[in-house]
Amino acid sequence: MGNCWGAEVKTESPSPIVFASGRNCKHGSKKGTVLSASSRRVSSSSAPQTPGSEGEILSSSKPKSFTFSELRTATRNFRPDSVLGEGGFGAVFKGWIDEHTFAAAKPGTGLVIAVKKLNQESFQGHREWMTEVNYLSQLSHPNLVRLIGYCLEDEQRLLVYEFMPRGSLENHLFRRSPHYHLLSWSLRMKIALGGARGLAFLHSDKAKVIYRDFKTSNVLLDSNYNAKLSDFGLAKDGPSGSRSHVSTRVMGTYGYAAPEYLSTGHLTAKSDVYSFGVVLVELLTGQRAIDNNRPSEEHNLVEWAKPYLANKRRVIGIMDSRLQGRYSVAGAQRTAGLALQCLCMQAKRRPSMDQLVVALEQLQEAKDVERTPKTEPKSSGHRGGGRARTPRRNISVNGKVARPSPLRA
Ligand SMILES: Nc1ncnc2c1ncn2[C@@H]1O[C@H](COP(=O)(O)OP(=O)(O)OP(=O)(O)O)[C@@H](O)[C@H]1O
Ligand SMILES: [Mg+2]
């Protein structure tokens, strides 16, 4: 994991990309017929799994097929006051089901669920809905959100997940509300490690999946701040045989997508590593990947922060000022170093997620995970962020992807 800072500076801007719209296909709408047998290679060729072991391909997992009426009852008719959040493809509602029968239950009883209801007009939404059911039906890991079921009925597309009581990392890092306490340094590191483990599992030979949408809003937190990845709508099987990458149209979220993927459409596991690096910088600085409320040279967090990350002393100057110095200086410097490696312009020189898991585990074990330095570090221009809108996937309703502006390294 060498430092590749020097190699990054001269990289050229990405060239223009032509995006496919993919709007002409029709999709079936027969209730309950999701994705018959999956076309993915996973279960038959993978080694036998011990049920319940950490990180496995489920060959027998069957998320339940819910009727629309069941989910309407479970969410009390999709009550606006039970909305947990809203993304590019629709709103997510809180609901309740019986933990044994999965029938709708009274609010406050049984199993709490999160129901994502896709906007009906989006073809892209349907495709992503299918991809998500496909992947999450087969992959199980403590750091991936569990898909409890789905609903495919006429025009309705819904996904039913385990409820994650602490919501998204995005809300904790950037929302200004009494509901969200400041995330301590050690929790940030715990969440980073959880996210890294989730990605490492996806990249492992067991799964061989490229996630393609790693960002703070897709990292959900359970009551103990264990991180779980959600949103598998953009996930892709990794390259097979001797191929080094998957060629695909460019999808994702501006600010998080790797530059070589944006410019060539060549997707590798290292694209996820880049996105992970962006989130590490967000954890360090408490600032969003893209924030147009900042001065123009700071709109893109990574471009702005890179020179600071490369310098051990200057890193302290860009740390989230709300931490008020309560973090391990050595830990922050090491994390900045990892982020810089993840953000290397040469994808091959980025570390693997396995390497990052090891490095982050070592950081957790370090004795000075969180301490108050004797002197308050100087803050360099951090304004606390938080006013910007969430970076959403660059997908418009007509299925096209907005062309991201070139990254200036
Ligand atoms: N299983 C869940 N438990 C609790 N809250 C959830 C769950 N799933 C989603 N949410 C909340 O709903 C919000 C919206 O999620 P969603 O995945 O639809 O959009 P997003 O990730 O914010 O944006 P994008 O459309 O780019 O994916 C999340 O940010 C989170 O706060
Ligand atoms: Mg999401």
Average model confidence (pLDDT) across the chain? 79
One domain, residues 142 and 178: no
Statement: residue 39 has pLDDT above 90: no
Distance of alpha carbon 309 from alpha carbon 330, whole angstroms: 13
Residue by residue, DSSP assigns 327-349 as: S-HHHHHHHHHHHHHHT-SSGGG
- Residue with the nearest Cα to atom 16 of ligand 1? 87
Ligand 1 surroundings by CB, under 6 angstroms: 84-89, 92, 114, 116, 145, 161, 163-164, 167-168, 170-171, 217-218, 220, 230-231, 253, 390, 392-393
Alpha carbon nearest to ligand 1 atom 26, residue:
392
Pick the last residue of a domain from 94, 128, 162: 162
Residue 330: both structure tokens together: 């050595």
Residue pair 62/100 in contact (Cβ under 8 Å)? The answer is no
Residue 359 and residue 222 share a domain:
yes
Q: Which amino acid is at 361?
A: E
Is residue 34 in a domain?
A: no
Sign for the pseudo-dihedral over CA of 211, 215, 217, 222: positive
Please state the atom number of ligand 1 nearest to the C-alpha of residue 87: 19
Structural domain includes residue 249 = yes
* 349 and 214 within one domain: yes
**Cβ(196)–Cβ(356) below 8 Å:** yes
Same domain, 131 and 184: no
Residues 116, 84 contacting (CB under 8 angstroms): no
Q: Do the domain assignments include residue 91? A: yes
Give the chain's length.
Answer: 409
Domain boundary among 134, 162, 190: 162
The answer to whether residues 104 and 84 belong to one domain is yes
Q: What are phi and psi of 16, to 5 degrees?
A: -60, 150
Last residue of some domain: 107, 139, 162?
162
Nearest partner of 339 among 408, 268, 283, judged by Cα: 283
Q: Which of 8-12, 29-33, 56-60 has the highest mean pLDDT?
A: 56-60
The verdict on 205 and 307 lying in the same domain is yes
Q: Specify if 18 maps to a domain.
A: no
What CATH number is attached to the domain comprising 184?
A: 1.10.510.10
User: In terms of domains, do 151 and 178 share one?
Assistant: no
pLDDT digits (tens, 9 = 90+) for 319-378: 999 999 999 999 999 999 999 999 999 999 999 999 999 999 999 887 665 655 544 444
* Cα 104 from Cα 126, distance rounded (Å): 25
pLDDT digits (tens, 9 = 90+) for 210-225: 999 999 999 999 999 9
Residue 28 is assigned to a structural domain of this protein: no
Pair 147, 62 in one domain: yes
User: Is residue 214 assigned to a domain?
Assistant: yes
Q: Establish if 213 belongs to a structural domain.
A: yes
Q: Give catalytic status of residue 213 as yes or no.
A: yes
**Dihedral over alpha carbons 196, 197, 203, 206 (to 10 degrees):** 180
Q: Do 273 and 220 belong together in one domain? A: yes
For residues 295 and 176, state if they share a domain: yes
pLDDT of 62 > 70? The answer is yes
Same domain flag for 191 and 124: no
Nearest to 279 by CA among 115, 168, 179: 168
- Number of domains, the chain: 2
Q: Identify whether residues 194 and 146 lie together within a single domain.
A: no
Give the whole-angstrom CA distance, residue 375 versus residue 265: 47
Q: For residues 259 and 238, give the distance between their C-alpha atoms in angstroms, rounded to a whole number.
A: 18
Domain that holds residue 208: 167-365
pLDDT digit string, tens, across residues 267-303: 999 999 999 999 999 999 999 999 999 999 899 999 9
- What is the 92 CA–ligand 1 centroid distance (Å)? 6
Extended beta strands in 156-258, E state: 156-162, 209-210, 219-221, 227-229, 236-237, 246-247
pTM for the whole structure: 0.81
